[in-house]
Amino acid sequence: DAQLGVPGGRIVEGIDVSGAAKRALRWALDEARRRKASVDVVHAWRPPYLGARPFGPSGMDVDAIEARTRAEFDRIVDREVTGQQPGPVERIVVRGGAARAILDASAGADLVVLGSRGLGGFEGLLLGSVSHHAAHHVRCPLVVVR
């Protein structure tokens, strides 16, 4: 693993569609250019909960939902990634919880970058649940972007 300030290494950035996450992506990509590092951009999603059978709707097309999710994720990343990235930008889409996806992806990373708040929770909180969880559990430096 690269040490902070040493060229190379791997940065993990967690993204959703919030403004803070998009600013965090820009920050992570800029930092990767400075370090000559690769970036793993991680997006976690869950199928919508529609209730249990026999009372809830059935026939939800989870594959179609995942395809739409990946397409939106790609649009967000494509807007920010330029041909100037020195290392690869890996796109990781995970079905499941965001906190677990970030922790799993951060194994062996040199830096984790997250937006301060995603779309859930309470407006007034400085940290959202994912960035709060990461602050307590990642094993490398963490940058939280507002």
Is-contact 130 12, C-beta < 8 A? Answer: no
Under the banding of pLDDT at 50, 70 and 90, the label for residue 99 is: very high
Q: Which two tokens stand for residue 87?
A: 């290392």
β pairing state of 142-145 and 111-115? parallel
Out of 21-35, 53-67, 79-93, 122-136, the most confident range is: 21-35
Residue 25 CB contacts under 8 Å (≥ 6 apart), including other chains: 13, 15, 41, 76, 77, 80, 113
Q: What does the pLDDT look like over 70-93, one tens digit per residue?
A: 999 999 999 999 888 888 999 999
Alpha-carbon distance of 30 to 135, in angstroms, equals: 21
